[in-house]
Structure 1
Amino acid sequence: MAVFTEVSFEEAQKLMRRLRLGELQDLRGIEGGIENTNYFASAEQDGVLNHYVLTLFERLSAQQLPFYLYLMKHLAQAGIPVPDPQGDPNGDVLHTVCGKPAAVVNRLAGKSQLAPEPVHCAALGDMLARMHLAGRDYDREQPNLRGLPWWNETVPVVLPHLAAEQADLLRAELAFQNHTASGSDYAALPRGPVHADLFRDNAMFEGERLTGFFDFYFAGVDTWLFDVAVCLNDWCIDWPTGRHDDAKARALVQAYEAVRPFTAAERALFPALLRAGALRFWISRLWDFHLPREASMLKPHDPTHFERVLRDRVQRPWRP
C-alpha cells in the first residue's frame, strides 16, 4: 500500500463525483505494503461524511481485476464483512485514474489487532470459514497468481542473492512443495476462492469483535487449507522467533472447524501446507527486498522473518 502514483485532489474529486459519492473532503496516501497505490478518501454527501479507500493497481491488469472486485462484492452481498466496491451509474466497479486501473471501496470500521490473543484468532477462524463457504457459488475463475507456478519462476531469480545455506533451504523446500502438489491427497483438498494474504494488518477489529477483512488483491482459487495456513503463520506465532503458538493456533482452528470441519486430506497435509504458506511469503519478500520498485512510501518487509517461520515448520510439524 505504498504510493507509486501521485493522485491529485482534483483527479480524485472527478472520480467521486462520477461514482455519485459526494464531494471529496480529504485525500491521504497510505503507507505500508508494496503492491498498489492506496489513498484514504473522505466524501460528504447529504451532510454525511463517508470514508473510502481509493486503490490504483500497479501490477494487476484490467483483465485480472474483475475477479477480485466482483469477489468482494459477492462476499459483501453474502453478509461477509469485506469492502464493497463502488459502481458507477452503469454498475461498473473497475475505473481509471491517472491512466491506471482503479477502484473505490468503503473503509471498514475499527483497527488492526497487531498483537492478537486467542479470542481474536477464534474470531478470524470463524469468519474465514464463513468466507470460504460463501465463495463456493462465485462464478469467476482465476488461479492464485502467487501459487506454485510463480514460486517455480521466481526462485531462480532470487537465488543469486542468498547465502549458501539459505539457497539450499529454498531449493529443498521448493522441491518438497512440487512433490506434495503432485500427490493424491493434494488433489483431494477442497478448493475455492481464497484471500491468500490474510495477515493481521488485513483485518479490522473493534475490541474483540472482527469488523472485516480487506485487501483481496492476492485472492484466487486455491485450496482452502492454504488460506488457513497463511493465517496460522502470521496470527499464531511468536513474532521474534517465528515459532508456533499452540494456544492461538488451536483457537483459530477450532473456531474454523465449528463452521467447516476439515477433511481427511486436509488433516494429512496440514504440516505441508503450513510450510507452503511460509515458503510463499519468504519468496515474495526476497523478491521485493532484492528487486525493489521505486515508491514514495516503500518499506520492504524483512524476508528473514519467513525464513525463520519456514525453518520452524520444517523442524516442528504441527497438525490440529
Structure 2
Amino acid sequence: MSVYTELNSSDFTAILADYNLGQLHDFQGIAAGIENSNYFIITDSGRYVLTIFERMQAEELPYFMRLMKHLATNGLSCPDVMARHDGSLLFETNGKQGCIVSCLSGKTLDALNMAQLRSSGESLARLHLAGADFDEHRSNPTGPEWLAGKIAEVVEKTASIYGRDAAELLTDELTSQRALDWSSLPRGVIHGDLFVDNILFDGDQASGIIDFYYAHDAAFAMDIAITLNAQAVLLGDHDQQRMDAFLSGYEKLRPLQQQEREALPLLLRLGALRFWVSRLYDAIYPRGGAMTQTKDPEEYRRKLMFHRRKA
C-alpha cells in the first residue's frame, strides 16, 4: 500500500529482533493502494510483507490477524501472520502497530481475462466457505451511516468540482439505497476489497488473496458485487460476459440463492456508490504521504451509471 510511515534499516532491525526470521537483507516500499504502509522485506528465512496500520483502531487489529490464520487453516491461500517470540502477532513502531506476513506465490495483474475471472470467483467462494465457522465478528465500516455521513461531507464540493449532476447522482442513489434492506441475505465474513491488486495469479489460476483489512460481516452477495465492479466491469462491450465468467467460477463452489440473484443488480449499484464516495472523499480531502496514490473517483461514477442504465 502507499507508504505514509517511512522506516530505515535500523527500524527494520529493531522490529525483527522480536521475531525468529533472521537478519534483514533488503527492504522496499510498496507504492499501491491508499490505506496502510507496506514494505517487502527479505531476511535470512525468506521474503515477507511488513505492514504498518495508518488508519485502523488498535483494538480492531487482532480480528484481522486471527481471521487470516483461520482462513489459511481452512483451505484459503492467504498470508500467514508471523508470530513474535512471545507469541503476539503485532509489533509497535513510531507509535503505530504493524505485522509481518508471509509472501504468496504469483503476481497481481492489471486486468483479468475470462479464465482468470472464473478462478477469482472460485477463490472468493472458497473464502466465504472457509470463514463460515469463524466465531469473531466485525461490523461493516462503510455501512449506511458511514455512507450518508461521507456524502454529506463531499456533496457540495462535488458539485463545485465535478458538476451539479454528479452531486445530484450521489443524493439520488443514496435515497434509493436507503429504502432497501439486505438483512435476510446469506451472510458471513467477506473480504470487502477484492480488487485486482488484492488477488495473485500463476498464469490463469488464482494463487492467493491478500489484504484483509476491510473484512467484516456482511451479505456474501455484497462481496460478490464489490468484486464484480472491481474485476469484471471495465465499461466495455463484454462486461456482462465477464461478470458471468466470475459468477460461474463462484457457483462451482457456492451456488447462489434466488434472493441473492435478485439482489445483485442493486448491490452492484451500492458497491459502486460506496467506492465512488470513498474516492471522492480522498480526492477532496487528500492525506499526505511519502508514496501516496489517490484513485480516480470518475471510474466509479461511470460504473454506477452503467448499472443504473441496466435497471
TM-score range, shorter chain: over 0.9
**Of 117, 138, 142, the match for 1:142:** 138
The residue that corresponds to 2:180 in the other structure is 180
How far off is 1:111 after superposition?
1.0
User: What is the correspondence of 1:287-302 to structure 2 with a 5 Å cutoff?
Assistant: 287-302=281-296
Distance 1:78 1:187 in 2: 26
Alignment of 1:204-283 (within 5 A): 204-238=200-234, 241=235, 245-283=239-277
Gaps in structure 1 of 5+ consecutive residues: none
1:42 Cα offset (Å): 0.6
Q: Which residue of 1 aligns with 2:48?
A: 52
- Paired position in structure 1 for 2:167: 167
Matches within 5 A, 1:21-170: 21-45=21-45, 50-162=46-158, 163-170=163-170
Task: Give 3-state SS (helix, strand or coil) of 1:19's partner.
Answer: coil
For 1:17, the equivalent position in structure 2 comes to 17
Report the alpha carbon displacement of residue 218 of structure 1 after superposing the two structures with TM: 1.0
Match of 1:285 among 275, 279, 283: 279
Please tell me whether the aligned partners of residues 243 and 312 of structure 1 are also in contact (alpha carbons under 8 angstroms). no
Quote the offset at 1:147 in angstroms.
2.3
Q: Counterparts of 2:238 and 2:299 in 1: how far apart (Å)?
A: 13
Q: Which runs of 5+ in 2 are unaligned?
A: none
Give the Cα–Cα distance (whole angstroms) in 1 for the partners of residues 300 and 147 of structure 2.
15
1:210 aligned counterpart, secondary structure: strand
Deviation of 1:148 after TM superposition, in Å, equals: 2.2
1:172 counterpart letter in structure 2: D
Quote the Cα distance in structure 1 between the aligned partners of 2:100 and 2:80: 8
The alignment partner of 2:44 has SS state of strand
**Distance change >3 Å, CA 242–CA 291, structure 1 → 2:** farther
What TM-score comes out, normalization by structure 1 length? 0.93
Return the alpha-carbon distance in structure 2 between the equivalents of residues 243 and 193 of structure 1: 33
Which residue identity is paired with 2:63?
F
* Amino acid aligned to 2:148: N
Describe the superposition over 1:52-104 as per-residue Cα deviations: whole angstroms up to 9, x where unpaired.
11111110011011111211111011120111111112321122122101011
Moved over 4 A (4+): none
CA contact (8 A) 1:123 1:210 kept: yes
Asked whether 1:307 is paired with 2:301, we answer yes
SS at match of 2:249: helix
Number of equivalent positions? 307
Amino acid at match of 1:175: T
Three-state SS of the structure 2 residue aligned to 1:96 is strand
2:65, 2:214 → 1: CA distance?
Answer: 11
The CA distance in 1 between the partners of 2:11 and 2:94, in whole Å, is 8
Deviation digits for residues 115-143 of structure 1, max 9, x if unmatched? 21110000011111111011011111111
